[in-house]
Amino acid sequence: LNFQCPERIIARLANMLKKLNIKDFSTATIRMLEIKSLYELLTYPLPKMTEVLGETDGPKLYKRLETLKQTVYPDYRLMGSIGFSGLGAESWRTILEQFPLEKVIYGSDKDLEYIGNIRGMGPKTVDVIKIERPLLMDDVKVVFHNLHHKDSYQADGVSPRVPIRFS
């Protein structure tokens, strides 16, 4: 896969925004704005956006992006939106409940091997993350340093989805 292919970048950005519920946004919009990264989109100035998209659509998109910056998303939903091949939000949820996001972002390839031991994951998942992480790192960092997120990882090993029963 060529992650630097302009059409792939456009499709990935459009898909990411769709998964984060940014409506009325398409590949045509990305082409009109001539952006190549999530960072460029999140820092696009309102006057220029209005000039390119018009008096109605420019401010509307800008407002939606500002709302995106203020919304708290689960970390797994953000990771699922970034575009790792074959890893959607539910896969990331399983991973991030047992493995800290900080290690996904900054850990070594050896650290990532632990993910292969998580039920439902395996060597293919680890390979995808190892191969694609450097290619997607700019967007990963932008998402986690500029958008609000809630961590799924429980240091005590107790999953937030697993009910605790007392007898």
What backbone phi and psi angles, to 5 degrees, belong to 163? -70, 145
Q: Is the pLDDT of residue 129 over 90?
A: yes
Backbone region of residue 86 per phi and psi (left: phi > 0; alpha: psi in -120 to 50; beta: other values): left
Backbone region of residue 26 per phi and psi (left: phi > 0; alpha: psi in -120 to 50; beta: other values): beta
Q: Give 28-48 pLDDT, tens digit per residue.
A: 999 999 998 888 988 999 999
Q: Is the pLDDT of residue 15 over 50?
A: yes
> Model pTM?
0.81
Instruction: Give the model's pLDDT for residue 165.
Output: 44
What backbone phi and psi angles, to 5 degrees, belong to 74? -65, 140
Q: Give 112-121 pLDDT, tens digit per residue.
A: 999 999 999 9
The token duo for 128 is: 């995808």
Instruction: Give the model's pLDDT for residue 45.
Output: 95
The answer to whether 116 and 39 have CB atoms below 8 angstroms apart is no
- Residue of 52, 30, 27 whose CA lies nearest to 41: 30
Q: Widest CA span of the chain, in angstroms?
A: 64
Instruction: Round to the nearest angstrom and report the end-to-end CA distance of the chain.
Output: 52
The token duo for 98 is: 């047992």
User: What confidence tier does 163 reach under pLDDT thresholds 50, 70, 90?
Assistant: very low
Q: Match 């439902």 to its residue by tokens.
A: 120
- Cβ count within 10 A of residue 125: 20
**For all residues of the chain together, what is the average pLDDT?**
87
| Rg for the chain, CA atoms, rounded | 17
User: What confidence tier does 162 reach under pLDDT thresholds 50, 70, 90?
Assistant: very low
Length of the chain: 167
Q: Is the pLDDT of residue 130 over 90?
A: yes
Strands (E), the chain: 72-74, 148-150
User: Which residue has better confidence, 24 or 122?
Assistant: 122
Please tell me the distance from the alpha carbon of residue 131 to that of residue 4, in angstroms, as a whole number.
Answer: 14
Q: Give 65-106 pLDDT, tens digit per residue.
A: 999 889 999 999 999 999 899 999 999 999 999 999 989 999
